[in-house]
Structure 1
Amino acid sequence: MYKAIVVDDEKWIVEGIKVGVDWEQFGFEVVGSAENGQEALKLIQELHPDVVLTDIKMPLMNGLELIKMGREMSPDTLFVVLSAHAEFAYAQKALNYGTFGYCLKPFEIEEIHSTLKKLSATLADRQHSTIHPSSSPELYESICANETEMVRKILRTHGMEPNGQVNLQPIVIQSNKLPVISGEIQHLSFQMSARRLGCLVYEDASKAFIADILSRYDASVYSIGIGHPLSDLTELSSSLEAASLASYGMFTTGKSGVFHAPPHLNPLIEEMLRNLSESLVKKDRIQFMTCMNTARSQFHNGQFSIKDAYLIFTALMTLFYREGATSSAKVFEGYEQLSYHYGDADRMIDYLVEHTLEYLSEEPPSMVTEVSHKTIKKILEFIHDHFTTEISIQSLSEKFYLSPNYLCHLFKKEVGDNFIEYISRLRIQYACKLLTETDLPIKQIGEKCGIHDYFYFTRIFKRIQGQTPTQYREHTK
């Protein structure tokens, strides 16, 4: 029988669940109950239950704290949250702590039975997988400590020492709900954190290994990183780290899937950090927004990894501390904290843009202050921060919920210029600034202003300024 404990500060709920639920039907017995998290934690330490059903709001120690500390104390215990509808946000947060699921109050016995059925299947699957020993907690510690001989001994014990014919391949699985790995494909697994599971498989079995996981679970919640194949165990630590970085692919791209190790050196991030630093020194909002928009695109395309996200984030946090804006500054100890806090790179960038623009604040353009229409004012503010990117009437109409025709009419009425002309003037004004302050080639300046056709850029520049970019540079330097 599987052992379960029930935790709720209302005794009648505990007794109702204990008596009203058919525990035996699903192979469970209730071995204890508690009225708060502290009592429950002692029970977990003594009994090591298979399942804990816990309320969220309780005295002394709430359910979220119990789950966090209980998982550390008893990693194999599964947690189910008992939550009222009013506490649904807490239940959702608890899922991020690695809980199995939740049941909403007032309870329907059928709902609890359904949860117990799933729990029973998961626990049975876990027991089945132990028939083929595949878990080695001490392996991860040995890899992190670079104890190559101990790693070799552990692999030899499990019959997985690399040889000249077949390489080993590290795989890291990241999710709020880590899978139970079946024992059908030879492997070794080790828990890296509450949301990351490391695995070693033979290279020729890695595709089948991943396919097996994705066929048995919801693929949309998994981000799987693949490291470099290896035969030399001294390379295991760096290959596992590469797989770990790749496993944050869902954070960087915003999509689930299987991701390969990023390159060890990324010249794109070096250029990005230089441009960011320059924009902050010069307090250039436009250059800063260009950097952020470029970074967003490079995350989506898989050109930036979680490591690059951390570098960008840390660079801007250093600015906040230096400027005394400590209320906006945050410190994360590593990639996992950053990923967990923001969820994906888009949200991280949104946060950085919002708070950095406060530091880069300047007098709003006169046109923005003169316009009285609230929506057009917001549109102008958006245009002034994003005119170096591709902006169209269609994209603005969708963002600000106006029809394209009405937006064109309203823009012309309030601003006096049509949309295309206004954008063109902003871009050429910025081009004049770059021509004066930098030695960048004309073509590159056009691209930085959002105009990627060199001949079109020079034609627009001459129409607005009355001279070519080259002539303008000669006359102003």
Structure 2
Amino acid sequence: MYRLVVIDDEYIVVQGIKALLSRLKLDYEVVGAAYDGIQGLEVIRNEKPDVVITDIRIPGLDGLSVIETAKDECPDTNFIVISGYSEFAYAQRALTLGVKDYIDKPVTAEKLKNALARVESGWAKTRYEDDKKAQANREKFQELDKIFEDGVRSITRGDAGSFREYSRQAIACLKELYPDEQDFRREFYKHLCVLSDVLIESQKQVERGSLVSFQEMEKCETMEQIQAYGEGVLSDINKHLTADQTGSRHRVILELLTYLDEHYNLDIGLSELADRVGMSTAYLSVLFKTEVGTSYVKYLTDLRIKKAKKLLQDGYKVHEVSELVGYNNYRYFCDIFKKHEGMTPNEYKGNVWNPEG
């Protein structure tokens, strides 16, 4: 049974509505009645009904003022206004307050039945929309679970390529499910911790403190900063997977791969790297190729071209990309890019980036 309150300064109207509800056998129970606005507001506060039927012209506090006050305390209550004064100004204000219906006196069985039917139609629509939203959320949570399982699986298999794809999908899904900053921070941090633990189980030499930090995550003040920090942790995990995938468990090589990923745009020679780790250039050259599976020069070139492709996709001009990835000679960059990709940077840019799209 729906709970209903009637407010009208005419006793006969209150009793008439009760009688009509009984005669029509509608699924409503009158749980309270009042004959002025002040008393009516108190009844609404106490009963928190599903529906209130109120006259506009009542003593103490007019009906629209009752509605305006009650809306803040009982947001789920629906209001129907009745009045012998069918003036546009009243109806207009009633609509701004979210009143569900407006009927003139005398209140007949047909008017009452139609008004309540429209209220129930609104409930049905709301329930449908809520159910639809809940179903969409359930499906999104299921999608996140699957993405997370894929991420864990890619770590245990040492599949850096799959983990990169996981990272992209996971961040997009988390942002959609948790638009609130604190929720996003909490859930993202939980995911990062579990992924870090899985990596540590797979690669015992990795220390958790070197991957994820609650203190660092707490310092992030915006969604963008939280995302950037999380992306950094995921990138670090991916570097470990990349090193492991190439057979490299050598601490020095892992350190250099991380350094190169952050400074690929600088003019870095093998001798500089050798000085950085206290090795001879000849020994580092052999060690790098043995551990990574390719020469240092080819690795750096591949890394720069990969970064260049991403910048071109993001809409940067070719001469800008050339400088950003460490090639001060524009023509040399174009030659290297074409040799690597089989097309010029401008041709690649035209294929993948459309400013109108």
Decide: shared fold, TM above 0.5.
no
Instruction: Name the structure where helix makes up a greater proportion of residues.
Output: 2
Normalising by structure 1, we get a TM-score of 0.29
Rg larger in structure: 2
Instruction: Name the structure where strand makes up a greater proportion of residues.
Output: 1
Normalising by structure 2, we get a TM-score of 0.38
